[in-house]
Amino acid sequence: MNGRPFNAAETLARPRLGTVERWRLSSDFHHPVHLHLAHFQVLSRGGRPPETTDAGWKDTVDVRPYEVVEVLARFDGYRGRYMLHCHNLEHEDMAMLANFEVV
């Protein structure tokens, strides 16, 4: 994530409990990005409106090669440390993930 290998001691983001944040996800390869314990809505794909299949609350979104997907993530469950990661099995095995902490 962000061109860096996974480091369990690092935290990519620290959203506050009860808040909503706009996150931009981009990639140079196809990655189904999954956020643990945070639901989100897709706001745009490549600066265009979301597709019909993007409707509703999600926990995973397909980010296609060279695409930017903007999501509005809601952090209203619990405080704690969670992760976001690619759901391609080979990418999970290569530790393509990052920590975020709800504070």
Give 37-46 pLDDT, tens digit per residue: 899 999 999 9
Residue 93 has pLDDT above 80, yes or no: no
- pTM of the model as a whole: 0.89
Contact 38, 61 (CB under 8 A): no
Give 15-66 pLDDT, tens digit per residue: 999 999 999 999 888 889 999 989 999 999 999 999 999 999 999 999 999 9
pLDDT band at 6 (very low <50, low <70, confident <90, very high): confident
Go through the domains of the chain in sequence order and give each one's CATH number.
19-102 (2.60.40.420)
Taking CA atoms, 89 is separated from 16, 32, 78, 83, 95, in Å, by 30, 10, 27, 16, 10
Q: Look at residue 56 and give its three-state secondary structure.
A: coil
| Nearest CA-CA partner of 72 in 38, 23, 26, 36 | 23
What is the predicted pLDDT for the residue at 2? 77
What is the predicted pLDDT for the residue at 91? 62
What is the predicted pLDDT for the residue at 56? 95
| Nearest CA-CA partner of 46 in 26, 18, 73, 75 | 26
